[in-house]
Every structure is written in C-alpha cells, then in structure tokens.
Amino acid sequence: MGEGGIVRSFRYWHEIVLLVLIGVVFAFAQMFEPRFLQLDVQRELSTHIWEIAILCLPMTLIIITAGIDLSVGGMMALCAVTLGMLFQRGLSPWVAATMGIGVATLCGVLNGLVVTRIRVHPLIVTLATMAAFRGAAEGLSLARPVSSFPEAFGWLGQGVWWGLPVPAWCFMGLLLLTASAVGLSRWGSYCYAVGMNPEACRFAAVPVNRVLLGLYAFSGFASGLAAVLFVARRNTAKADIGMGIELLVITAVVTGGVSIFGGRGNLLGMVLGVLLIHETREFVSWRWSRDELNFVVMGLLLILSVLLHRWLTPANRNTS
C-alpha cells in the first residue's frame, strides 16, 4: 500500500469532518454570539437534546443491522400514558415510571418478534407499530394530559447533578453500557455482520434473531427512558409526546455517518452527529429566531453529511 492507500484506509475521516463542522459552528458563535457559548447557556440548551441522544443509541445499532425503528415516538407515548394513568390512580411516580419503561420495552420486544419470526422488513413493521402504539396511547388516555407530578420526580428531568443535567448522566451511563457491549462482547461484531450479510450470518452460526430481538427491545427500553425524562422535564404526561421524533433521531444518526444500508457507522460518529445537529439547531434559533429556517438547515446538514460520507468513506470501510 502506498501513501494514498494509508490515507484511504483511514476509517475516521467522517468523524474528523464532523468535528471540523462542529468547530465551525462554535467559531461562528464565538464571533457573532459569544453569549451562546457560555457554560450556563450551553447547559440549559443541552436539556433539549438528551432524550434524542438516548434514542440514538439503539437506533445506531439497529441501522447498522440494516434495520430501522420508526416506532420510538409511539413507544414513548405508551410509556408516558402508562406513567400518567398509574400515577393518577395513586401509584408513586417512580413505580409508575418503571412500569412505563416496562411497557415500552415490551413494545420493543413485539417489534423484534415480528421482525425476526414473521420476517417482515423493519421499516414496514415499525411503520405499522408507530401508528398502533400512538393510537393505543391516545385511546387509553383519551388525549387527557396528566400533570402535577411531585417536585422530586421533576428533578429527574430538570435537576442538575455534578454540574450536568440529570438526563445527561442517564445518556452517558447508557452510552458507556452500549459502548462496552459493542466493544467488549461479540455483540458489536454481530451487529455489523447482520447488517452486511444476514444470510451468511445464519450459516456462520451468528444468532441473528437474538441480536435483532435484543436491539429492538433495547430500543423500546430507551424510548421508555426518554419518555420518563421528558415527562419529568415538562411535568406533563400525554399521548402526543415524541411526535415526529423518529425523524430527528434518524437524521442525527445518519449525519453521524451511519449508513442506512447497514454495516457501516459507529457510536463515536453518532455522538458527533448528535452534537452537530444540536449545536446547529440551537445556534440557528438563537441567532435568527426563525423556526422555519431550522428545517431548511437540518435538511441541508443531512444532505451534506450523506455527500461527505460518500466522498470520504473508502469502499472497504469496516469490511477488513
């Protein structure tokens, strides 16, 4: 391999470009809106992203297996409604929240079962369950919101612990667990393998079904956790929570360099993608106060990232 070969075989160009782009946003902010970069501002603005970041963890792995989970918002809604209704019937909000996360995890298991047993494409399965979960949540709650949770529960969403919002610690804990599972066990390799060639995996004794079932269940769990944090943060449990959140999550993951066709991408890229999306979105609304502009910028970012991905990724990335 010559010099060009080394450059081409370096696998992390996409991540470096994302870092540069994040740097550009910060530099712009430094020049025009220095207050945007202050610690207290950044800390408070960060509360807008943690739930999405949590949802990105399972979504990254699922997309690496060439799957997708569109039903995360629906599972959030079912969790929130379960939480709200049990709390209203006098249960402690902590117990209710645990039950809510349980319900969301079960929803994830259901997705996983349909994907693995009935072998329907995850896009179709989760498109169907997205509507079904949301509908069930609306029906159960009759669209009535539940609020006035105790302050101690609100701390989960609004509190600050050791200098960071509580949801940030939830995300980082979950990131650490996910990263260990991917890096230390065979699960990580399995995810990539399933994404690249599921048929070959079945012959190679890779437990494809168990991997997929586990990932969709994880997605349910993460949706439940995100819903609990959201309910605690906004002090309201209702059925329209997380409406359209799947698109933001997928945008962040794909911006992070995870290929929608499976087999490519990593958690580092995803974290950078989330960071870039978050800082860009917040900076645009900070500077221009024009909500419509945000949609345009998000769309451009997504296209830019896909183009970069194509230019920068050697064809053999993650296959050697």
Summarize as ranges the residues that interact with another protein (CB under 8 A).
12, 15, 22, 26, 29-30, 34-49, 142-145, 147, 158, 163-165, 168, 171-172, 175-176, 179, 182-184, 188-189, 230, 233-236, 238, 241, 243-244, 266-268, 271-272, 275, 278, 282, 285-286, 289-292, 295, 318, 320
Residue 38: CB minimum distance to another protein, A: 4
Minimum CB–partner distance for residue 106 and another protein (Å): 25
Q: CB–CB of 220/107 below 8 Å?
A: yes
- Closer CB to another protein, residue 29 or residue 250? 29
Contact 79, 54 (CB under 8 A): no
CB contact at 8 A, 65 and 320: no
Closest approach of another protein to the CB of residue 26, in Å: 6
Nearer to another protein, 108 or 273 (CB): 273
Measured from the CB atom, the residue of 29 and 114 that comes closer to another protein is: 29
Whole-angstrom CA distances from 146 to 72, 97, 143, 276 are 21, 13, 10, 34
| CA neighbor of 102 nearest in space, from 235, 252, 248, 223 | 223
Rounded to a whole number of angstroms, the minimum distance from the CB of residue 77 to another protein is 13
Residue owning tokens 């993951």: 253
Q: Which amino acid is at 262?
A: G
Between 122 and 269, name the residue whose CB sits nearer to another protein.
269
d(CA 50, CA 170): 8
The torsion angles phi and psi of 160, rounded to 5 degrees, stand at -120, 130
Output 150 or 183, the one with its CB closest to another protein. 183
Q: How far is the CB of 298 from another protein (least distance, A)?
A: 12
Question: Of 85, 70, 91, 89, which is closest to residue 134 (Cα–Cα)?
Answer: 70
Report in angstroms how near the CB of residue 36 gets to another protein at its nearest: 8
Tokens of 118: 């009935």
Q: How many whole angstroms separate alpha carbon 83 and alpha carbon 133?
A: 15
For another protein, which is the closer residue by CB, 224 or 273? 273
Min CB(301)–another protein separation in Å: 17
Residue (53 or 78) nearer to another protein, CB: 53
Say if CB 314 and CB 15 are below 8 A apart. Answer: no
Could you tell me the sign of the dihedral formed by the alpha carbons of 94, 96, 100, 103, in that order? Answer: positive
User: Is 46 or 111 the residue whose CB approaches another protein more closely?
Assistant: 46
Cβ contacts of 84 within 8 Å, gap of 6 or more? 96, 141, 145, 146, 231, 237, 238
What is the nearest approach in angstroms of another protein to the Cβ of residue 123?
23
